[in-house]
Structures are given as C-alpha cells and as structure tokens.
Amino acid sequence: MADKEKKEKKSFIGEFKEFAMRGNVMDMAVGIIIGTAFSAIINSLVKDIIMPLIGLLTGNYNFANLAIKLSDNNSLTYGQFISAVINFILIALVLFLIIKFFNKMRAQKEEVAPTELDVLTEIRDLLKEKNKD
C-alpha cells in the first residue's frame, strides 16, 4: 500500500512540475511581475506628477477629507471614495495613452518593414522583367 501512495505522490508532484514549468505559466508569471512593476510606475506618475498638477488647478483641495459624521465613532468618508475614483480614472487614462502610443509605434514599424509576401512578390516581378529581356 505504501508503494501505491508513493507512486500517487510522485505522479501528483510530477503533474505539478509539468504544470508549473509549462511555457504559458512561466510567461504569465513574468507578465504578472512586469505588470506589478509597471503598476508602481503608473501609480507614481499619477500620485507624484499628475495629482499635484490637479491640486494646483483646484487650489490644493483635498477630497480625502470630505466626510459625513454619522455618530461619535463613525463617519462616511466619501471623499476617499472620490479620490479613489479620480485616481482610477487618471490611471486608466495614462494606461490608455501609453498603450495607444505603443500601438501607434508598432503600426509604424509594421508599415516600414516589408512582409514576406511583399518581398516574394517583388522577387517574382523582378524575375518576370528579367525573363522578358
């Protein structure tokens, strides 16, 4: 019975190793790590650069301080919710602009680089011209 349990453990561990080492799982892990680092950059951009500029426009008004006192110990801090919504909108806007920029750069690169079909068509046309002579 112990051999059967040992075999089941090995197969489970082997299956897990196979799952964890698949290319798509590793790619996903790298994507998550890069996404986390990128998130820190975007959050800093919004918090340290964009929000101070918005503060200048609004007279340094702090939405986070807005609240309705419900009782001595409880308050409805809706200002923090407003701040979170503003941060979300700004982060979404910055991400949109960055993705739009990279997509534009990729499209320009694809326009410049000839495709394999373009090269083959050009070679065919040159061979036709050469054979006419």
pLDDT tens by residue, 75-131: 888 888 887 888 788 888 888 888 899 889 888 877 776 778 888 898 999 998 888
- Which H or E run contains 23? helix 23-44
pLDDT digits (tens, 9 = 90+) for 68-82: 999 888 988 888 888
Give the residue among 92, 90, 62 at the shortest CA–CA distance from 77. Answer: 62
Residue 75 β-bridge partners? 69
Task: Write the single-letter amino acid at 105.
Answer: M
Q: What is the pTM of this model?
A: 0.51
